[in-house]
Homo-oligomer: A and B are copies of this chain.
Amino acid sequence: MERSMSMRPPTIRDVADRAGVSKSLVSLVLRGSGQVRPDKREAVLRAVRELGYRPNAAARSLSEQRTRTVGVLLNDLRNPWFVEMLDGLNSLLHDNGLHMLLADSRLNRRSGQDPAGPFLDLRVDGLVVVGTLPDPAALAAVAERLPVVVAGAREPLLPGVDVVANDDEHGARLVTEHLVGLGHRRIAHVAGYGRVGELRRRAFEATLREHGLGDGIVVEPSDMTEEGGYRSTVRLLSRAERPTAVFAVNDIAAVGALSAAEESGLRVPRDLSVVGYDNTSIARLRHVWLTTVDNASHEVGRRAARCLLDRFAGSGTPGGVRLAAPTLEIRGSTAPLGLPG
């Protein structure tokens, strides 16, 4: 942007000269090829930056069929669980000369648009879908036209589509073992929807059964929002056999559970332990300080970017699920059963 408008714009020739490489190598780097030596790629990208070289994306997309842009479709901007994942995605995409643009599928749906529409119109090179879409099967048509990677969700499973996520079953198991280990016996689950919701719920139930706590498993469904978590927990706390611990399907529902506890006059964690999932910025607020599962978002983002780059380079596999290992973040919302207040 520091270049004067009257100067001759730099050409690909200028970039090649400055980087000390051939024009075709510059072109390879700009197309995101994985076949260029890292030092050469770095030299080219440095020359691009220093000269302020800006390829004409519209003209290029007609000639080379590449825009060097990846579309990222988020399921709902209001739940900030995806922020770390974008960091991971962006770091690797940028290292490979690719831009990232975002869209919020909730906003597009509300106005009746096809969620991926703007990206298709602009001929992005690939699409990363972050989180569970209300209609995951609709991605099939998009996946026929360009590489699609699903990150942080477990569906749809489609030919040629990579799915990268954390291991939801392992994460739910870590939570349940933690609560059982603290002495809790009446542990309830505020469940979610979709494949992610199902995997977390099933692992929760299986772990309880392994500990001989299979009788009286209590699961309340929710829509995975704060309001939903609140309402489900209000129902749970009004039961005759009140649970002493609640495992919510995600952090935002867990924050709703905290409010329900507060309104019922219960102190967390003294009277009720609460656990979330995702390790969002909200869980890390000192005022919330929620025990939760870190879903390895940054790593999931990097792996999703790697899958996309492999597909661009033509070395993608038939598609499948790749899982990163989640870890438990123990904070202030869980405590041993019967701890003196």
Q: Which positions in A face B, CB cutoff 8 Å?
A: 1-3, 5, 49, 54-55, 57-59, 61-62, 67-69, 71, 77-78, 80, 83, 86-87, 90-91, 94, 99-104, 107-108, 110-114, 116-123, 138, 141-142, 144, 226, 230, 255-256, 258-259, 262-263, 281-282, 285-288
Closest to A90 in B: B107
Partner of A83, one of B5, B77, B113, B285: B77
Closest 4 pairs (CB-CB, A-B): A259-B286, A99-B118, A94-B111, A102-B102
Closest to A141 in B: B1
Chain B residues positioned under 8 Å from A288 (CB to CB): 287
A2 to B103, CA, bound (A): 21
Q: Given A58-B123, A80-B80, is A285 in contact with B255 using a C-beta cutoff of 8 Å?
A: yes
Chain B residues positioned under 8 Å from A91 (CB to CB): 111
Chain B residues positioned under 8 Å from A90 (CB to CB): 107-108, 110-111
Chain B residues positioned under 8 Å from A116 (CB to CB): 1
A-B contact pairs, 7 of them (CB 8 A): A1-B116, A5-B141, A58-B58, A90-B108, A101-B122, A230-B286, A263-B286
Pair A117/B54 contact, Cβ less than 8 Å: yes
Pair B100/A144 contact, Cβ less than 8 Å: no
Chain B residues positioned under 8 Å from A117 (CB to CB): 54, 99
